[in-house]
Every structure is written in structure tokens, then in C-alpha cells.
Structure 1
Amino acid sequence: MAYELKTKQTDNSVIEFIEAVDSPKKREDAYQLLDIFTETAGFEAKMWGPSIIGFGSYHYKYASGHEGDAPLVGFSPRKAKISLYFAPGETKREELLKEFGKHTNGKACVYINKVADINIEVLKKLIQESITFLQKTYPAQ
């Protein structure tokens, strides 16, 4: 049975999604992140699944045969925390996160409470590193 990806790029409106965020502070942070990611990544924001704002995309194929498409970088203003999506394989990631500010780590996510807690210049470097890493690892066919 083929595995169906849940997180696919959609035509849903990024602005409508941000406007639907309950917390006014999270909404404000989402707009700030939208500007930072758009400017730094150089890609238009697109919705991926119901709740991820992604920038750019790449096609991956694992040795297991599993393959799909994913955003190069992205974020999601979730209820508890804001999730930032970066490639987990970057060598510089751990070094950059030491200077990033208040956050917690997941496998491919970095969680923050608010934009004011982090160093924006380090965020821009994390975005650039992730894109460089993924484009090198999964070159366009």
C-alpha cells in the first residue's frame, strides 16, 4: 500500500490562515516571520497542508523508495508554540542554535514562544543553511 503524504502544497491563502490565528500576538509574530522567511528564502509563501506556511520545495526519495515533496523551510503559528521548520541534517544548525535565543528542539522543528525571544539574524542564517543543505542533498531533477 502506498503511503499518502498528509502535508502537500495547497492553494489555500497564507493571509487567510494567519488571520484565523486566535492570538493577536501570535498573528503579529506570524506576519513578522512571513516577512523574514519571504525576504531570506526568496520564495513565495505557500500553504502546506492545513497549517504549515512553506517556502520553496524539494523532491526527496529515500533508499526505502519513499518519496515526496516538502517545503525547503517553513513555520506554523500553533496554539502552544510557533514551529519553525529547518532541515535536520545541517552541520551548522547546532552551532547556530546556541546563539538563537529561547527555543526547544524537535527532530526537524525548532519551537519558540514568540519572535521577541530569538535572534533574527541567526534565524536568517538558519533559513539560508537549510535551503543550501536541501538543494545540495536533493538537487532538482
Structure 2
Amino acid sequence: MASTRPAMLPGDQPVVDVLDRATGARRGEADELLALHRDVSGAEPVVGAGRIIGFGQYEYRYDSGHGGIAPELAFATGPSRHTIYLATGFADLWPDLLAGLGPHRATRACLHLTRLAAVDRDVIRTLLEHTLAERRKG
């Protein structure tokens, strides 16, 4: 069986350095995402992989035996988009929420948003709350 190793090694990089990769109006949106993730998780942010801002941590294990430790909630922001890391398969789990979100792109575990201003913040909060509940039920 594979040993448990952090999927996102926390570093000592300041959160503000990562947030500052977003510019213009997107920079304020990054601050909003930070506050929202902190509020939902109840945890303080930690930068991992040089670009991902994570909150809390959980242990995961696949049927294959591979596992590790990852943040309970996380996001990354940059000059062209925000990426919010959600429960694997979230688009299939909660399609009704995504229908009311606004412009976005969904992949297996990532929600990509060009502008936070164009989406429903209550839907984002609910997606984060659902993801946290999924990860904590173990």
C-alpha cells in the first residue's frame, strides 16, 4: 500500500504573493475568494505548490491503495481566471447548483471562473459547503 504523502506540500510563501498574481478587478475577487474559503472552512490559508491557497486538510485514499493529504478547500488565482478545487465529480453531484451559477467551466474537480463578478456567490458558498461536508464525512 502506498504511503501517505502530502499532495500539496505547504510552504512558507506569503498568501499575498499568490493573490497578487491576479490584477485589476480580479485582484479584489481573489481577496473575496480568500475570505469566503476562510469563512466556510474555519481554517487559515496556507500556500502549497507555489500557487494553490489551501484551507484545512484531509486524508484521501483511492481503491488502488494510493492516498495522500490534500486541503479540504482550495483555490488558485491568476491573471486570467480563478480555479476553485471542489469534490471530485461535483458537476454530476450538484448539477442544479451549477445551473444557477453563471458563466463557468467545470472539469473533474475544478471550477474555472473568468470573473467572480459574473457568478452567483451564494452558489459558490454552497458548493464549498457541500465539498467540505463530503471531505469530512470520510
TM-score range, shorter chain: 0.7 to 0.9
Residues in 2 aligned to 1:77 and 1:128: alpha-carbon distance in whole angstroms: 20
Secondary structure of 2:112's counterpart equals strand
1:38/1:84 Cα in 2 relative to 1: closer, same or farther (>3 Å)?
same
What TM-score comes out, normalization by structure 1 length? 0.85
Residue equivalent to 2:113: 112
Residues in 1 aligned to 2:123 and 2:54: alpha-carbon distance in whole angstroms: 19
Residue equivalent to 2:73: 73
Residue equivalent to 1:15: 16
Residue equivalent to 2:38: 38
Residue equivalent to 1:48: 48
The two structures, once aligned, show a CA RMSD in angstroms of: 2.1
- Which stretches in structure 2 are left out of the alignment for 5+ residues? none
Secondary structure of 2:69's counterpart equals strand
Query: Where has structure 1 moved over 3 Å in runs of 4 or more?
Result: 2-6, 89-92
Residue equivalent to 1:128: 129
Do the aligned partners of 1:92 and 1:129 also contact (CA within 8 Å) in 2?
A: no
1:22/1:122 Cα in 2 relative to 1: closer, same or farther (>3 Å)?
closer
Residues in 2 aligned to 1:13 and 1:47: alpha-carbon distance in whole angstroms: 7
Secondary structure of 2:25's counterpart equals helix
Q: What's the CA shift for 1:11?
A: 2.4
Q: What's the CA shift for 1:80?
A: 3.1
Summarize the alignment of residues 75-94 of structure 1 with structure 2, pairs less than 5 Å apart: 75-90=75-90, 92-94=93-95
Aligned residues: 135
Residue equivalent to 2:104: 103
1:102/1:40 Cα in 2 relative to 1: closer, same or farther (>3 Å)?
same
What is the CA deviation profile of residues 98-139 of structure 1, one whole-angstrom value per residue up to 9, with x for unaligned ones? Answer: 111110111100100111011111111111100001111x2x
- Which stretches in structure 1 are left out of the alignment for 5+ residues? none
What TM-score comes out, normalization by structure 2 length? 0.86
Do the aligned partners of 2:22 and 2:30 also contact (CA within 8 Å) in 1?
A: no
Identity %: 27
